[in-house]
Amino acid sequence: MTVLDAPIDVRADFPGLFDADGKPWHYLDTAATAQKPRQVIDVVTRALGTDYATVHRGVYSRSADMTLAYEAARRAVARFVGGEESEIVFVRGATEAINLVANSWGAANLKAGDRILLSTLEHHSNIVPWQLIAERVGAEIDVVPLTSDGRIDLDAMAAMITEQHKLVALAHVSNVLGSTLDARRAAGIAHNVGAKILIDGCQAVPRMAVDVKALDCDFYVFSGHKIYGPTGIGALWARGEILDAMPPWHGGGSMIDRVTFAKTTYAPAPTRFEAGTPAIVEAIGLAAAIDYVTAIGMDRIAAHEGALVKAARDILSGVNSVRLLGPDDSNGIVSFAMEGVHPHDIGTILDESGVAIRAGHHCAQPLMEALGVPATARASFGIYSDESDIAALARGMERVRKIFAND
């Protein structure tokens, strides 16, 4: 069986895809976090070792070089998402980016009576920060429902949005259903009533080309570890004029212009939002990861994962009592439920067959409630996933079926 016409053959670059004895491991949990290629590991090792020094302060040449590398990483992120260097804030990840927007832009711009629009399928990190700020300022949250195949229902969004809505925050790709948002249309609907829109790009950026200017959004966030880079680093892109007007949220070193006990003034954006010694090594590692996926090509990656999703859905739909969740064209992610079998049992049996999937609520409890399940089993793919993973998933699911003899 050939599921891939033009496979991307990079498995050998990823030490994490082999166990201690060198045996292949079928890692189908890339939506949680991606394995790292040697190219990223080597750059991180060098940055932590022979190249290591602080940034922005040192007068010695090692520090000046490190500053250049850190700022080059910012340029790499900006180029990758189609923004300007001055519009990129390094953060710990998408969670921190959303908290930053909620606490800086949200605290300055939201007031009692304003409304925030989210969707049923949001990750908790795109729900809870908004609940916290809404509670603080007296704003309310509304929720856009999903279509029957698991997409954010933009017709419903257009019908329910009002001029009271000041902020819309939606996932570009669902981490559970893999459904892809028409982010440009969503931005148009938000802007029509004067609302700002934040797009959570955590699951999109590793799987498709993203251009924030073409999407016409106001904020775009993602995490480095899901795009083959290190943990502890991610990015917030914010439209220049919005970021320039946002107040600081964390205080400390580096983010200031001048400090006196009488009055402190702040550095311009994006420095104003990066208090303290930044995640220097991690930012440089993220740039290496961006170089890595860019060399392969985002369109090739999208086609590769699309073929894998199709093969996985074909196999799973052949297992009686499996309910596939999400649309047929789900983006790199396949969630499913099996009647009478808890997803944790599916995960455990697959693990015994050397296949790692995720089972649980995937930090999307409101979505679980809407789907009427306590949890789902989720297989998710990356650039290194291939036919051997699909075959191992098929073998593992056959074992699950036999053990539970559901058909």
Residues with catalytic roles? 363
CB of 358 to ligand PMP, least distance (A): 10
Residue 282 sits in the site that holds ligand PMP (CB under 6 A): no
172 versus 401: smaller Cβ distance to ligand PMP: 172
Pairwise CA distance, residues 277 & 255, whole Å? 10
CB of 362 to ligand PMP, least distance (A): 7
Map residues 360-379 to x or -, x wherever contact with ligand PMP holds by CB under 6 A: ---x----------------
Q: Does the CA dihedral 175-178-184-188 come out positive or negative? A: negative
Return the residue of 101, 170, 202, 288 that touches ligand PMP, per CB under 6 A: 202
Residue 305 sits in the site that holds ligand PMP (CB under 6 A): no
Size of the site for ligand PMP (CB under 6 A): 13
Residue 35 sits in the site that holds ligand PMP (CB under 6 A): no
171 versus 377: smaller Cβ distance to ligand PMP: 171
Q: Is 40 exposed, middle or buried (0-12, 13-18, 19+ CB in 10 A)?
A: buried
Residue 153 C-alpha from the chain's centroid: 21
Residue 396 sits in the site that holds ligand PMP (CB under 6 A): no
Contacts of 203 (CB under 8 A, 6+ apart): 31, 171, 172, 173, 174, 175, 178, 226, 331, 332, 333
Residue 383 sits in the site that holds ligand PMP (CB under 6 A): no
Residue 30 sits in the site that holds ligand PMP (CB under 6 A): no
Contacts of 216 (CB under 8 A, 6+ apart): 184, 187, 188, 191
Return the residue of 103, 180, 203, 385 that touches ligand PMP, per CB under 6 A: 203
Using alpha carbons, select from 291, 276, 272 the residue that is nearest to residue 232: 276
Pairwise CA distance, residues 306 & 312, whole Å? 10
207 versus 304: smaller Cβ distance to ligand PMP: 207
CB of 89 to ligand PMP, least distance (A): 14
Contacts of 180 (CB under 8 A, 6+ apart): 151, 172, 173, 204, 208, 329, 331
Residue 75 C-alpha from the chain's centroid: 19
Using alpha carbons, select from 39, 371, 311, 81 the residue that is nearest to residue 204: 81
Residue 171 sits in the site that holds ligand PMP (CB under 6 A): yes
Residue 94 sits in the site that holds ligand PMP (CB under 6 A): yes
CB of 365 to ligand PMP, least distance (A): 13
Return the residue of 30, 99, 175, 271 that touches ligand PMP, per CB under 6 A: 175
CB of 185 to ligand PMP, least distance (A): 19
Map residues 206-225 to x or -, x wherever contact with ligand PMP holds by CB under 6 A: -----------------x--
Pairwise CA distance, residues 144 & 121, whole Å? 9
> What token pair was written down for 94?
């998408």
Pairwise CA distance, residues 224 & 69, whole Å? 17
Pairwise CA distance, residues 381 & 202, whole Å? 14
CB of 105 to ligand PMP, least distance (A): 18
Using alpha carbons, select from 298, 391, 300 the residue that is nearest to residue 5: 300
CB of 378 to ligand PMP, least distance (A): 11
Instruction: Report the C-alpha dihedral over residues 246, 248, 254, 257, rounded to 10 degrees.
Output: 70
Residue 123 sits in the site that holds ligand PMP (CB under 6 A): yes
Return the residue of 125, 180, 331, 380 that touches ligand PMP, per CB under 6 A: 125
Residues numbered 54-93 forming contacts with ligand PMP, rule: CB under 6 A: 93
256 versus 356: smaller Cβ distance to ligand PMP: 356
- Which amino acid, 51? D
**Residues forming the site for ligand PMP (CB under 6 A):** 93-95, 123, 125-126, 171, 175, 200, 202-203, 223, 363
